[in-house]
Structure 1
Amino acid sequence: MSTRPVIAILGAGAAGTLTALHLVRESGRRSTPVEILLVDPADRWGRGTAFGTPDEQHLLNVPAAGMSALPEDPSHFLHWLQDQQPDVHAFTFAGRRTYGRYLDEQLTAAVRDVLVDTTVRHVRATVTDVRRDGARVRLGHPGAPDGLLADAVVVAVGLPATGDDWAPDALRDSPFFVGDPWAPGALDPVRRDRTGPADVLVVGTGLTAVDVLFSLAGGRPDRRLRAISRSGELPSQHADRLKPAAIPDISAWGSGLDQIRAAVEQHLAEVANTTGDWRPALDGLRFRVAELWQRLPEEDRATFLTRDAATWNRLRHRLPRESHDRLDALVAAGEVVLEAARVTDAEPLPRGGLRITTTDGAVREVGWVVNCTGPRADVRTLGNPLLDDLLRPRLDGALAITTTAGMGLATRDGRLVDDRGRADAPLWTLGALRRGELWESTAVPEIRQQALALAVGVLEAVAPLPRRLADGTWVPGHHPVARPRDPLGLPLSTTAEAAASFNAGLERLMRLQSGAEELFAEAAALDPDFALAHAALALLGHEASADTDVTSSLAAARRAARVNADDRERSLVSVVGLRVREPRRAGADALRRHIAAYPRDVLAVSAAVPTIAFSGVIDVQQDVWALVENLAPAYGDHWWYISLLAFVRQDQARYDEAALLAESALSCEPSSGHAVHALTHVHYETGQHETGRAWLDHWIEAGGRSASHRAHFAWHAALHELALGDVEAVRRRFARQLADVTGVRGLVDTASLLWRWQVAATDWDAGLAAPPTAAPVLASVDAQLLGKPETPFIALHAAVAHAANHDPESLDSLGARCRRSRDEASRSAVAPVCRGLAAVLREDWSTAIDELSAALPGLAAINSSLIRA
């Protein structure tokens, strides 16, 4: 008898298949074999209502770039599609049927390739009742008297029942009423009809109606397709190309519908004004909509559903331009008519068909009426035996309760909440059944994230990984006194209170937000024996010029490591000590060895990879790429890792992949500074200067308000303006966002902008004012950074700062120091840059060309934005 945990997934459409896929993949990563049952009467998994259509005319309403099943590989579906159709691109809208095949193939391949004994079995049945059986769940269905016994159950049935409450009884009971256009063969009689009234009335003008209109168009020459709805409006159309989402800062948007509505309208207007398009604003809201929805009281949610939901759906769930243009052509030809009306009455016609009366006073004779109003909103009225059973009263309480007008089931992070407020039954749900608590929860981009989180949560519940106690003892995963852990699951040798502060600081560091050092200091104060907190302070002080006492923090870390630390923590303390003493040799080697042993140590990886925050330890760009890419098994699809990978991809000039990875990371964590940085480079390197400037301006003022490196993003925006020749915009930005920046950021960002500004804008004699002097900027920078920089990264920026200050003598001095350095990059790259820039200032053009040309081969090793941007 198998001892593997059994996980039953009820529903094998997109939500169920994605859940099974991520369960298979996660079970392999954790070396935890499980038995997965996909319970659905359908003949294949991966289809469901959305992707089971046989009509190739029915297109996805999300471009290929957004339809990957794997959050860590947002190009996955696109590449799969390109293997079959090489001419498709990121903004191609594939067929729904094609996507169903993609899901089918991915699950099949995952089961084939998984390295543990994980299996997926398709059980063709409909579960009608659920009951707890000790710690497990027993599922009843016709044909199985004893039911199925499972350790965990995922309810992924979606909302298959269409709503027809709007229809008069005479219409609902008519054989000429198609109540569910997605039922197999439902539209076939309509297509074949050649004897009844020619016209067809389509009730609804949303995405379902568009698919039905395409399926019925051209079938009968005398037929007109009349589509009606309250507004008579079609969904909006997508733009002609992908545009980055403008994610708003919603911290001050309030919690009432009126406040949020006003803020949304302002956000739409501001983005439309800066980018010329409202769509990036809507796409950015998608990442915040669940949080906004959860702020609303129930009465405001009800108001939104009646007053705002239809408008939101038209703007949010858009049509591909191809579909929109085709529909326009059908309307222009008179084959499709769009009207604002509702059905008020229906009566049968003697020769078949129906006489329909609508609110606009029109009386129409039609052969058929097709219901395209979408699924019923209230799960209590679906007539679904499974959902009815979950909601039914029991002696120990109903297993589930509904939320917000019955739109879905209440959960705690996807785990069902019962009518006593508990979430202890091994029951989970996702997708459409979470609309009541998330609002947006039916599209693949949302469902794939839920499926992944749910897979991790289910496996942690049924087969938790072992944990280690402070004394080194390994205990089962649910042991009550296991040590606290960091955001990546690594144990921490400290108290729960200190761990909470440390983790909050680590998360700020991961997002490139300010305030990390204060939280690390708070953790150290809460637990003076917490070695990692002290080590983090020392590392930030040394590497990122944080306002900390590096020497005393390092001493405290060493003392604490002797008192209370595990092997990883002691290793990191040792690494930080070596980094402070000799960052480019012993420190770099020790950091590499530590990461090899502890790849999920975020603090160590952050210090190793050259980004805005850290200069890194690797001099060869390809080695940086290898370091990050080799971390994939340790991180999977974690947003922080995807953000770093996006930066690597833009370094490799794989710009489409970098953009998709950045967007995927931002969909999980809108404040990810690394993802924003990667997307910023993509815009610059691909010449999207207007788009890049507008997007960055929005981010700096919204999500970037708490960023610890806002000056660097402002610098990038100014580069776009220089590329556009808008020198006055650069001047305004410099005064507003860069002139008062001091310290390392003043050196790296402000001074280097002044030099670029001087080089790029040379027509001062045309009446244009010269750039500001660099002297005040250099006065705010530590003299040690300018004269005796410790790394080639800082030395290169010091050279540029001296050039911006028109100081060839300081360049001579810095160049001489770099020539004596033991660091190869300083000798081979920075020293000739110093000589070359000094020659430029002296107008010795021949020497300048020779020296700067000699420096070029070694510059890439320094990993500076001066070279990359």
Structure 2
Amino acid sequence: MNARPVVAILGAGAAGTLTALHLVRESGRRSTPVEILLVDPADRWGRGTAFGTTDDQHLLNVPAAGMSALPEDPSHFLHWLQDQQPDAHAFTFAPRRTYGRYLDEQLTAAARDILVETTVRHVRATVTDVRRDGARVRLGHAGSPDGLLADAVVVAVGLPTTGEDWAPPALRDSPFFVTDPWAPGALDPIRRDRTGPADVLVVGTGLTAVDVLFSLAGTRPDRRLHTVSRSGRLPSRHADRLKPAAIPDISGWGARLEEIRTAVEQHLTEVAKTTGDWRPALDGLRFRVAELWQRLPEEDRTTFLLRDAAAWNRLRHRIPTESHERLDGLVGSGEIVLGAASVTAVEPLAHGGLRVATTDEAVREVGWVVNCTGPRADVRTLGNPVLDDLLRPRLDGALAVTTTAGMGLATRDGRLVDGRGRHDAPIWTLGALRRGELWESTAVPEIRQQALALAVGVLEAVAPLPRRLADGTWVPGHHPVARPRDPLGLPLSTTAEAAAVFNAGLERLMRLQSGAEELFAQAAALDPDFALAHAALALLGHEAGADTDVTAALAAARRAARTNADDRERSLVSVVGLRIREPRRAGADALRRHIAAYPRDVLAVSAAVPTIAFSGVIDVQQDVWALVENLAPAYGDHWWYISLLAFVRQDQARYDEAALLAESALSCEPSSGHAVHALAHVHYETGQHETGRAWLDHWIDAGGRSASHRAHFAWHAALHELALGDVEAVRARFARQLADVTGVRGLVDTASLLWRWQVAVTDWDTTVPSPPTAAPVLAAVGSQLLGQPETPFIALHAAVAHAANHDAASLDSLGTRCRRSRDEASRSAVAPVCRGLAAVLREDWSTAVTELSTALPGLTAVGGSAAQREIVEETLLLALWRDGRTDVAREVLGDRVDRRHSPLDERRLRLTAG
């Protein structure tokens, strides 16, 4: 018996190659060697129908930014492409054959470089039958009497067979009918034909038709390409640049087609109105399609296929702008003739070619007819021996059953469901064969996620990692009494019921959604001896102001940890205690040590990394970056980690990477608040103010309705409005989303916005109304945060709040407190900010310039984002201008305008010149 599990992947196209790639990578992470067989008669892996074309006119229909094979590195394909094509950018549409080579190279390199004994072998064979052999699967093929024996099988054969049921018998039997344009050399006779009728009829106007039209355009000077379909419309085009997807909140969209159709139309209309483009709405909807599809009853799915699918596909599967412009030119010149019609009758011409009648009452004499209607929709009619055998009735039931009009195979998370409703056979599928249950399941962004999840699932089945019981004993991965686990796989010392509630709370915390503390409290009530639930409550009470008794929760956590916790849980309880007592010294050091020992502890990492929700533990910006980057081996492609990494990348001014990481995370988890936060910073720092404002407005009202820090996202939107000089929009937003915010968020977001409004706009242009008074805001914040801030970050914002309230005396008092602090950042950065702000209030502009200039270099140690710390530079700019140092002010403003577009900065730049 082979010591390594054998995983056979049937099909070596994109889906099969991506599955093999993620199996190799995951086996390396787990140190679990496997033997991977890619079974396909093709001569190379990574090609398949989609990427096997040799025509460089056939472009990808997704920009380079969306084509990475690795979800955790969404720039991967782009960087690979730029090595060969230096002028390539995120919105480049590369040739499809180039992408096939990329997949080939990635799998080859991964198999070569892996440090465990995982191998990948290409078996050039066509599997004809599949049968269970005990716990394994035996695959029959013509090249071996015994076939192949595998521990797991992945069916990745796609839908290669074209549909031709629409064609009259006389057409199907004609030698002038190209049934499959993707068959090797299928279009060559048309290109070479110089004697028969010149014109060609292309049936279908989708993506396949576009490629065929490009391949045939210009092949004869007298040739016209007639293209017909029911709609007579070519695919829509992509926008001219990347735009962030507007992801809708679908919780209230209902479960019937009519309800969902109405909600979709409203979503498209609203996003088009706010952004000027319907495409972000469609792209955001893509993240929700599977959930919506699974809500629909079968009769509604069937209705959708008949009434709505064609329109959806035309909008969803778009072509590059350059392809669209070329098609426009060919249509304008008359070389391509579009028609809304179907073929009704065909008869042969005496000297070759065909006379074709269509429903528009036209009769065309053409040399050739090319079938571009796409693959057969029903997998039962493909004639694929593997699928036919899986669906074959057996004594104990077929190995697979179909879903929704035969569009795909029924699965449970990709694992096949058999004729008796079981899913215990070690057979999985992905991609096009899951359309029936997901609808959108044929593009690389969807397939790569499925391939990753499938790789993890397959390895869990054939080579599960050992698990530890409550008494410390290690047992095989599927041991029946293994403890419940958290979302990252760490064991929990509690009951299954309490663990489920705790995990729901942890997932809310990971998504930055409200309600986490209530769920943690519920878990603690279900199991009073659940140490982590009590510790989480104490941490949220201390860090985020959650309504909980921090002292009592910590005491309960310590009591439970003494009797019912493992080493990790006891360590975390200890860390939380130190974090509460001394957050920036012993607590920070203990948290670092804990994360080094338990890097997948989400609660600990959340507390350590400075975000909206937590202040973090590290004063040096580069140390924050290193902490997050060093966690990559522990998290791999997990959406939550990718979200944190996106924020780090924007902090490093690597904005393109940050945006792609955020989009990748949102494609996995549309409610990821960390990803949204990273994207909000990208929009601001790159001057995409109109786009950023519109996108945030949509998110706040849709997916962000359950966010726990909605005020901060409103603050981000207001920054865009200030940069655009739209003060009335800021005023309306303040009244609607920020005026009633309390606590930390009222300090960091609301009060700071009022001061920024004053020093960046009103004090430069007295015709602009002043912001609302800050006194009610400070009253809602509370005297503790304003007078006795525990961290330099809170102290900085307390100073800004006092400035917004025109309270120089409180600034003096806070400055004295900061100068006496044991914290270096408080002494060197926050104290001079206090003096500088007080000087501004007293119109002592020279002192203000001196003090604020002194503070600027040390502000990164205070924490927070560049956008938050920018409030000090905004105040310094005003002081420079009022002090008559216009040359210095112009230099600062000039650098900012060069770095990012801002009408506000451009206007101030003109003021300093005049």
- TM-score normalized by the length of structure 1: 0.99
**1:347 matched to which residue of 2?**
347
Q: Is the CA contact 1:140–1:146 (under 8 Å) kept in the aligned structure 2?
A: yes
Structure 1 residues 808 and 766, CA, compared in 2 at 3 Å: closer, same or farther?
closer
Structure 1 residues 567 and 45, CA, compared in 2 at 3 Å: closer, same or farther?
same
**1:868 matched to which residue of 2?**
913
1:329 Cα offset (Å): 1.1
**1:827 matched to which residue of 2?**
827
Distance in 2 (alpha carbons) for counterparts of 1:671 and 1:828: 38
Distance in 1 (alpha carbons) for counterparts of 2:782 and 2:595: 32
**Any idea what the Cα deviations from partners look like across 1:338-358, whole Å, max 9, x if unmatched?**
111110000111111101000
RMSD, aligned CA: 1.9
Structure 1 residues 761 and 16, CA, compared in 2 at 3 Å: closer, same or farther?
same
Q: Is the CA contact 2:204–2:229 (under 8 Å) kept in the aligned structure 1?
A: yes
1:258 Cα offset (Å): 0.5
**Any idea what the Cα deviations from partners look like across 1:367-406, whole Å, max 9, x if unmatched?**
0000000000000111111101100100010000000000
- Fraction of identical pairs, as percent: 90
Distance in 2 (alpha carbons) for counterparts of 1:763 and 1:622: 35
**Any idea what the Cα deviations from partners look like across 1:494-551, whole Å, max 9, x if unmatched?**
1001101110000000000000000000011111111100000000011111111110
Structure 1 residues 165 and 384, CA, compared in 2 at 3 Å: closer, same or farther?
same
Q: Give SS of 1:764's match.
A: coil
1:578 Cα offset (Å): 0.4
Q: Give SS of 1:319's match.
A: coil
**2:522 matched to which residue of 1?**
522
1:558 Cα offset (Å): 0.5
1:744 Cα offset (Å): 0.9
Distance in 2 (alpha carbons) for counterparts of 1:759 and 1:174: 78
Distance in 2 (alpha carbons) for counterparts of 1:224 and 1:66: 35
Distance in 2 (alpha carbons) for counterparts of 1:582 and 1:763: 41
Q: 1:152-301 residue pairs with structure 2 within 5 A? A: 152-301=152-301
1:768 Cα offset (Å): 3.9
**Any idea what the Cα deviations from partners look like across 1:289-311, whole Å, max 9, x if unmatched?**
00000001111101100100000
Q: Is the CA contact 2:355–2:366 (under 8 Å) kept in the aligned structure 1?
A: yes
**Any idea what the Cα deviations from partners look like across 1:456-511, whole Å, max 9, x if unmatched?**
00000000000000000000001000000000000001100110111000000000
Q: Give SS of 1:780's match.
A: helix
Distance in 2 (alpha carbons) for counterparts of 1:814 and 1:548: 28
**Any idea what the Cα deviations from partners look like across 1:598-640, whole Å, max 9, x if unmatched?**
0000000000100100111100000000000000000001000
Distance in 2 (alpha carbons) for counterparts of 1:193 and 1:763: 76
Distance in 1 (alpha carbons) for counterparts of 2:260 and 2:66: 27
**Any idea what the Cα deviations from partners look like across 1:187-244, whole Å, max 9, x if unmatched?**
0111111111000000000000000000011111111011100010000000000000
Q: Give SS of 2:572's match.
A: helix
Distance in 2 (alpha carbons) for counterparts of 1:720 and 1:782: 28
1:760 Cα offset (Å): 2.0
Structure 1 residues 746 and 578, CA, compared in 2 at 3 Å: closer, same or farther?
same
Distance in 1 (alpha carbons) for counterparts of 2:412 and 2:176: 44
Distance in 2 (alpha carbons) for counterparts of 1:789 and 1:321: 54
**1:556 matched to which residue of 2?**
556
Structure 1 residues 22 and 88, CA, compared in 2 at 3 Å: closer, same or farther?
same
1:88 Cα offset (Å): 0.6
**Any idea what the Cα deviations from partners look like across 1:157-191, whole Å, max 9, x if unmatched?**
00000000000000001000000000011001111
Distance in 2 (alpha carbons) for counterparts of 1:754 and 1:441: 47
**2:303 matched to which residue of 1?**
303
1:782 Cα offset (Å): 2.2
Q: Is the CA contact 1:609–1:624 (under 8 Å) kept in the aligned structure 2?
A: yes
1:36 Cα offset (Å): 0.3
1:2 Cα offset (Å): 3.0
Q: Give SS of 2:347's match.
A: strand
1:868 Cα offset (Å): 27
Q: Is the CA contact 2:762–2:769 (under 8 Å) kept in the aligned structure 1?
A: no
- TM-score normalized by the length of structure 2: 0.94
Q: Is the CA contact 1:8–1:154 (under 8 Å) kept in the aligned structure 2?
A: yes
Distance in 1 (alpha carbons) for counterparts of 2:87 and 2:753: 40
Distance in 2 (alpha carbons) for counterparts of 1:114 and 1:138: 27
1:762 Cα offset (Å): 1.7
Structure 1 residues 585 and 867, CA, compared in 2 at 3 Å: closer, same or farther?
farther
**2:636 matched to which residue of 1?**
636
Single out whichever of 762-771 and 347-356 deviates more from structure 2: 762-771
Distance in 1 (alpha carbons) for counterparts of 2:790 and 2:722: 31
1:25 Cα offset (Å): 0.2
Q: 1:775-814 residue pairs with structure 2 within 5 A? A: 775-814=775-814
Q: Is the CA contact 2:561–2:570 (under 8 Å) kept in the aligned structure 1?
A: yes
1:261 Cα offset (Å): 0.3
Structure 1 residues 169 and 205, CA, compared in 2 at 3 Å: closer, same or farther?
same
**2:648 matched to which residue of 1?**
648
1:761 Cα offset (Å): 2.1
1:867 Cα offset (Å): 23
Structure 1 residues 280 and 462, CA, compared in 2 at 3 Å: closer, same or farther?
same
Distance in 2 (alpha carbons) for counterparts of 1:448 and 1:467: 28
Structure 1 residues 554 and 144, CA, compared in 2 at 3 Å: closer, same or farther?
same
Q: Give SS of 2:293's match.
A: helix
**Any idea what the Cα deviations from partners look like across 1:725-766, whole Å, max 9, x if unmatched?**
000000000000000001111111100011111112227986
1:334 Cα offset (Å): 1.2
Q: Give SS of 1:679's match.
A: helix
Distance in 2 (alpha carbons) for counterparts of 1:641 and 1:268: 31
Name stretches of at least 5 consecutive residues in structure 2 with no aligned partner: 863-910
Q: Is the CA contact 2:417–2:423 (under 8 Å) kept in the aligned structure 1?
A: yes
Structure 1 residues 103 and 764, CA, compared in 2 at 3 Å: closer, same or farther?
closer
Single out whichever of 130-139 and 758-767 deviates more from structure 2: 758-767
Q: Give SS of 2:541's match.
A: helix
Distance in 2 (alpha carbons) for counterparts of 1:448 and 1:7: 18
Distance in 2 (alpha carbons) for counterparts of 1:282 and 1:716: 24
1:331 Cα offset (Å): 1.1
Distance in 1 (alpha carbons) for counterparts of 2:584 and 2:759: 32
Q: Is the CA contact 1:764–1:770 (under 8 Å) kept in the aligned structure 2?
A: no
Distance in 2 (alpha carbons) for counterparts of 1:51 and 1:424: 33
Q: 1:160-559 residue pairs with structure 2 within 5 A? A: 160-559=160-559
1:21 Cα offset (Å): 0.1
Q: Is the CA contact 1:59–1:96 (under 8 Å) kept in the aligned structure 2?
A: yes
1:328 Cα offset (Å): 0.9
Distance in 1 (alpha carbons) for counterparts of 2:756 and 2:264: 37
1:143 Cα offset (Å): 1.8
**Any idea what the Cα deviations from partners look like across 1:800-839, whole Å, max 9, x if unmatched?**
0000000000000001001110011111111110000000
1:767 Cα offset (Å): 5.1
Name stretches of at least 5 consecutive residues in structure 1 with no aligned partner: none
Q: Is the CA contact 2:662–2:679 (under 8 Å) kept in the aligned structure 1?
A: yes
1:772 Cα offset (Å): 0.5
Q: Is the CA contact 2:137–2:149 (under 8 Å) kept in the aligned structure 1?
A: yes
Q: Give SS of 2:781's match.
A: coil
1:142 Cα offset (Å): 0.8
Structure 1 residues 297 and 336, CA, compared in 2 at 3 Å: closer, same or farther?
same
Q: Is the CA contact 1:859–1:867 (under 8 Å) kept in the aligned structure 2?
A: no
**2:893 matched to which residue of 1?**
none
Distance in 2 (alpha carbons) for counterparts of 1:394 and 1:545: 61
Structure 1 residues 764 and 855, CA, compared in 2 at 3 Å: closer, same or farther?
closer
Q: Is the CA contact 1:238–1:320 (under 8 Å) kept in the aligned structure 2?
A: yes
Q: 1:705-724 residue pairs with structure 2 within 5 A? A: 705-724=705-724
**Any idea what the Cα deviations from partners look like across 1:115-149, whole Å, max 9, x if unmatched?**
10000000000101000000000000112111100
Q: Give SS of 1:226's match.
A: strand
Distance in 2 (alpha carbons) for counterparts of 1:430 and 1:13: 12
Q: Give SS of 1:766's match.
A: coil
Single out whichever of 822-831 and 755-764 deviates more from structure 2: 755-764
Q: Is the CA contact 2:403–2:410 (under 8 Å) kept in the aligned structure 1?
A: yes
Q: Is the CA contact 1:860–1:867 (under 8 Å) kept in the aligned structure 2?
A: no
**Any idea what the Cα deviations from partners look like across 1:645-700, whole Å, max 9, x if unmatched?**
00000000000000000000000000000000000000000000000000000000
Q: Is the CA contact 1:159–1:432 (under 8 Å) kept in the aligned structure 2?
A: yes
